[in-house]
Chain A
């Protein structure tokens, strides 16, 4: 299980995201994860072995390195990327649950043929209702994790710049000792790059949040001003559910028990139901 595995897991979620969500996912995978794996890990690869202190005292090197770099940048970024990408799995779980419910409904109404089952699996879910809330929560969590890690970075490595020389006086170093960091300029460049992409991702997440909220409000306003009044209504699918409900009620008050038998004996009813659910 590595970054490629995470990519496989998350690309499934992509289908049910908004356009901004897809852009965000591409930025994460190309400009952050790929840069981390392909470039940054080699820059930080020799961070400890090439950290040199001006002393022969055994242990001074290790202790000074640990004092100035409690957690390596690379590990912080890896944790950040994993935590930031995981809220999307909430959405994936919710979508899977809804698909499961749809399949159950198909089975109950007697439309459980492979074609319809495949359709359930393939069609894109609208982000409305409870899925909207799950999606918004996932975006909020993403923002939160990004902000928390940016803050941790600032706390641990204030100024984001990697200096060439650090002065260390932790035990067992005798007095104050000069320690030299390997590749400071390259590290500074990559740190700034990762920070910039992180900020871009924060901006994208905020834009997505605003977009979702505005869309929900617009939908509500439209719904209030145009109440559903017939087959040609804008909310055809919602109406079709009400219509379907009525059909189902009618069918279930018939004397004979089996729903399938009823539908078989009244093909006209079934067709009417089908026609209307498609409007």
Chain B
């Protein structure tokens, strides 16, 4: 089980996400996970071996390293990425449950079921409304909470995000105060700032997605009640169909050759 497996699991959720959700997932995998695996892990690879203290006292180096780096940045980021990507599984579970129900209906031979076969049920994309809307919104909320918590934990532990070159340590068994030198501090600072920046972008995307879902929900609610019973509303349906088609035709026909074979 590694990042590739996580990518496979979350790729399935992608189908039921909003567009902002899909962008968020791409940013997560390419600018955070990939950078972590391909670059950041190498930078922090020798963090303890090359942590040098100006003393021959045995144990001083270990104690000082542990004092200044309770959890390595890399491990914090890995945990953050796992926690932040897992709420999407709530949505995946809800979708799987709905599909299971529809398959059950289909097998029982229910007249209301509009699907022709099991394959169609498996491939169908559900709209984000009703209980799925609540699940989806909760998952985004949890994502935001986890991101914020980890950003705070980071700031709390490594005050200021900057990696200094020199740290002065006087934990036992170090004699008096000892100079300790961190390996590759500038490179580490650059990557820390990069990861924080991308994390902020992800937070913004999540907030935008939450707003989008709320606005959509309120719009849908405000459209529902007006439905005059005596007025034949197939004309309105025609108009909306016409508008939709016009929109689609003007969007898509510029670039496509709709070649239906006769």
Contacts and interface: CB of A to CB of B under 8 A. Distances in A.
Q: Does A pair with B?
A: yes
A259 B241 contact: yes
Interface string A105-118: 10011010000100
Interface of B is mostly: helix
Contacts of A238: 253-254
Contacts of B179: 58-59, 172
B251 A101 contact: yes
Contacts of B93: none
Interface in B167-189: 179-187
A270 B234 CA distance: 22
Interface stretch (B29-37, B126-134, B149-157): B29-37
Interface of A: 1-3, 5-6, 9, 48-49, 57-59, 61-63, 65-66, 69-72, 74-75, 78-79, 82, 86, 89, 93, 97-98, 101-102, 104-105, 108-109, 111, 116, 119, 123, 125-131, 171-172, 236-238, 240-241, 244-245, 248-249, 252, 257, 259, 271, 274-275, 277-278
B26 interface: yes
A240 B262 contact: no
Nearest to A49: B46
Chain B, interface residues (CB within 8 Å), range = 35 or more
Interface of B: 3-4, 7, 19, 22-23, 26, 29-31, 33-35, 37-39, 42-43, 46, 50, 52-55, 165-166, 179-187, 190-191, 194, 234, 237-238, 241-242, 244-246, 248-262
Nearest to A75: B39
B181 A59 contact: yes
A55 to B, nearest CB: 12
Contact of B252 (A72, A105, A259): A105
Which 6 residue pairs spanning A and B have beta carbons closest together?
A: A241-B253, A59-B181, A257-B234, A129-B254, A70-B186, A105-B248
Contact of A123 (B52, B53, B54, B257): B257
Contact of A248 (B35, B242, B261): B242
Contact of A237 (B238, B242, B257, B260): B257
Nearest to A258: B234
Nearest to A271: B262
